[in-house]
Structure 1
Amino acid sequence: MLNLPLYQVDAFTDRLFGGNPAAVVPVPEFPADALMQSIATENNLSETAFVVIRGKGKFDIRWFTPTQEVRLCGHATLAAAHVLYKSGGKDLDKLRFRTTSAGTIAVTPLAEAGTYRMAFPTDVPEKTRAGKKLRGALAGLNPKEVYKGTDDLIVVLKNERQVRSLQPNFHIVAQLKRRGLIVTAPGDEVDFVSRCFYPAYGIDEDPVTGSAHTVLTPLWAKKLKKKHLTARQVSTRGGQITCELRGKKVHLTGQAITYLAGQLLLDRLD
């Protein structure tokens, strides 16, 4: 069995130990699902991205949390683009990642070092009701509005203070029959803030969630009547995202920095 390179990148941040750490594993072809899941579980990060090079600037990508594969991940895509661009792709003006079920994600390196713009399908939220279980997950906090996206429930709160101080009931969040729960509110210094919780996927709180902003961007674009927005995920590590609504696409811009480069010694499995 081949040994494989492994990178760990802090995404949606310009400094080490900020943003959201993701593992990136370039592979000649995707290993067995069970092996990819074992690697992701061992890494114990929000996401491990596996990437296959198909041609110049063309890649296949899959993402795994510590417990299961996901349909879409933003911060690990940003991390993968950063690794591929820095390790030999600096002549590329665009990187295209083909996914299993979320279409093709185009990533454009920008002039500022370590900065990339990603184009995702827009996820338009639908308004719904706050059921008893959701209110229990919010530990008694009353939401202003509740929406559902393709993957997550979205709760709009009154202000940034409520988002920061929320202590959700993770046991109940894991029972919501959605990938996870996003809480959001107008920001004090940015257009909107958020926090994201995915205990059913082995992640109580995700530090910075790119995919969540594919549904938060159209929500706040409509509320604020603007297409260019600044966002901050106010987790402990925190992260900054610039968002733009372009019709059926959401463009997310963020920075990334490599923390670790190493090797997976998979020959020891033989």
Structure 2
Amino acid sequence: MEVNIYQVDVFTHKPFGGNPAGIVPDARGLKDIDMQNIAKEMNISETVFIIPIDENNYEIRFFTPVSEVDLCGHGTIGAFYTLAYMGYIPSINNGIKKVYQNTKAGKLGVEIFFKNGEVEKVLMEQAKPQELNIIKDINPLLECFNIKESDIGIGDEFINPRIVSTGLPDILLPLKEKNI
């Protein structure tokens, strides 16, 4: 079986910059083990496997070198840029084309902005944030980021860090100053 795989640098206009993602624009016929092995071989943070459903809907799967994950922001941007750039998603002269990705985190819209028939940018919808946990033991964060408890919060108010998710869990750590 022949599989086309691309490495795309996301969030940059310069080669070898940004955040790399592996992109498989047509993953029809690949088994889970094939996807995992390809991601392991690519050995970058995420490899994206795209299974077209119709011209506006795509099943998207994200694999790290060791496991599948529910969602990947830079992988999504890279995947839909690649689909549009390579003509899998037909370009329009000027305007926005909205398509949808079906992921393990849900169905999310993706907007592809075209200018003079070229991809200008790609934006993705996020699921509504869900608070998963309030972090009460902040000592590991203080040590990890080399900050003091008094650095955490907004204004004069201490606000506990939280674990939130729009598809993948992240830590929100409110800091009083942006230069901390």
TM bin, normalised by shorter chain, reads 0.7 to 0.9
Amino acid at match of 2:113: L
**1:80-106 CA distances to partner (integer Å, 9 max, x unpaired)?**
10111111123472221111x211121
**1:192-213 CA distances to partner (integer Å, 9 max, x unpaired)?**
xxxxxxxxxxxxxxxxxxxxxx
Q: 1:37 to 1:133 in 2, by over 3 A?
A: farther
Task: Tell me if structure 1 keeps the 8 A contact 2:9–2:18.
Answer: yes
**1:161-189 CA distances to partner (integer Å, 9 max, x unpaired)?**
33xxxxxxxxxxxxxxxxxxxxxxxxxxx
- Mapping for residues 191-230 of structure 1, pairs under 5 Å: none
CA RMSD of aligned residues (A): 2.4
| 1:102 to 2:105 alignment | yes
Q: Report the 3-state secondary structure (helix = DSSP H, G, I; strand = E; otherwise coil) of the residue aligned with 1:161.
A: coil
- Distance in 2 (alpha carbons) for counterparts of 1:45 and 1:62: 15
Paired residues in the alignment total 160
- Match of residue 84 from structure 2: 85
Q: 1:30 to 1:122 in 2, by over 3 A?
A: farther
Q: Report the 3-state secondary structure (helix = DSSP H, G, I; strand = E; otherwise coil) of the residue aligned with 1:34.
A: helix
Task: Tell me if structure 2 keeps the 8 A contact 1:135–1:142.
Answer: no
- Match of residue 250 from structure 1: none
- Match of residue 154 from structure 1: 172
- Distance in 1 (alpha carbons) for counterparts of 2:143 and 2:67: 22
Q: Report the 3-state secondary structure (helix = DSSP H, G, I; strand = E; otherwise coil) of the residue aligned with 1:138.
A: helix
Q: Report the 3-state secondary structure (helix = DSSP H, G, I; strand = E; otherwise coil) of the residue aligned with 1:13.
A: coil
**1:116-139 CA distances to partner (integer Å, 9 max, x unpaired)?**
121121214467234166336525
Q: 1:136 to 1:23 in 2, by over 3 A?
A: same
**1:191-244 CA distances to partner (integer Å, 9 max, x unpaired)?**
xxxxxxxxxxxxxxxxxxxxxxxxxxxxxxxxxxxxxxxxxxxxxxxxxxxxxx
TM-score, length basis structure 2 = 0.77
Tell which has more relative contact order, 1 or 2 (C-alpha 8 A, sep 6+): 1
Q: 1:127 to 1:53 in 2, by over 3 A?
A: closer
Kindly name which structure, 1 or 2, has the bigger radius of gyration based on alpha carbons: 2
Q: List gaps (5 residues or longer) in structure 2.
A: 153-159
* Alpha-carbon offset, residue 29 of structure 1: 2.2
Task: Tell me if structure 1 keeps the 8 A contact 2:25–2:82.
Answer: no
- Distance in 1 (alpha carbons) for counterparts of 2:134 and 2:121: 36
- Mapping for residues 24-103 of structure 1, pairs under 5 Å: 24-29=23-28, 31-88=30-87, 89-91=89-91, 93-99=97-103, 101-103=104-106
Q: Report the 3-state secondary structure (helix = DSSP H, G, I; strand = E; otherwise coil) of the residue aligned with 1:98.
A: strand
- Distance in 2 (alpha carbons) for counterparts of 1:33 and 1:156: 38
- Distance in 2 (alpha carbons) for counterparts of 1:22 and 1:76: 6
* Alpha-carbon offset, residue 156 of structure 1: 2.1
- Distance in 2 (alpha carbons) for counterparts of 1:146 and 1:122: 18
Q: 1:53 to 1:75 in 2, by over 3 A?
A: same
Q: Report the 3-state secondary structure (helix = DSSP H, G, I; strand = E; otherwise coil) of the residue aligned with 1:160.
A: coil
TM-score, length basis structure 1 = 0.53
Q: List gaps (5 residues or longer) in structure 1.
A: 163-270
